[in-house]
Chains A and B, each alone.
Chain A
């Protein structure tokens, strides 16, 4: 990558990391309330809580912000410790695949809960 492009990518990484951090700082404490409220309850109880459109929307945003944040964070860790280009590229790709699987898996579950199938 050229220096000009790296400058842009680096700045974008910084801002995405901070923007998702602020979103998570608000969403995590808010969503801890419904999560704690379902401790020990059966599936019907959990579905009733997650069926609330506000809670479901909160979880959808939490997951979106969470996977972006975690992918960027893990990317930094990989780049810090894995120096050989082959394994580094492989791990960075695996990191992205993991984030995509978590995102789509969770959002699909939320969609099933919302639509009831």
Chain B
């Protein structure tokens, strides 16, 4: 849609589907998606703090939801989103200093972001299961 204009009638850049899909593009999209997911997920952090401060039976109820399989799946996703956005953000801070823009470096940093996010998520969950003792 070449004639597309935004509210201020400024020209728009070409739509996403024009570009060749690469790891850097995927990581860029994931950075935004995980960022938005984390924003929604702050509700969980606030809810946890609120439950800790509130009545004990309410805390136990919240704890039960968190420990259920769907709850664990959401928390696993939350952990990964947090780690992915953290390492993706670190990559952006490196770019902010004006270095690392060679295509080969960009590709390497993108793969590194993905690898680090998966690895740290696994380590956090291994630690959590270790603390908890039994599954």
User: Interface of A with B (CB < 8 Å)?
Assistant: 18, 21-22, 24-25, 28-29, 32, 36-37, 39-40, 42-43, 46-47, 50, 59, 63, 66-67, 70, 73-74, 77, 83-85, 88, 98, 102, 105-106, 108-110, 112-113
Contact = CB atoms under 8 A, between A and B. Distances in A.
21 contacts: A21-B89, A21-B93, A24-B89, A25-B89, A39-B131, A43-B51, A50-B52, A59-B49, A63-B45, A66-B42, A73-B39, A74-B36, A77-B35, A98-B39, A105-B46, A105-B49, A106-B46, A110-B49, A110-B53, A112-B53, A113-B52
A105 B32 CA distance: 25
Nearest to B52: A46
What is the predominant secondary structure among interface residues of chain B facing chain A? helix
B90 A25 contact: yes
A9 to B, nearest CB: 15
B36 A46 contact: no
B35 A102 contact: no
Contacts of A77: 32, 35-36
Contacts of B53: 108-110, 112-113
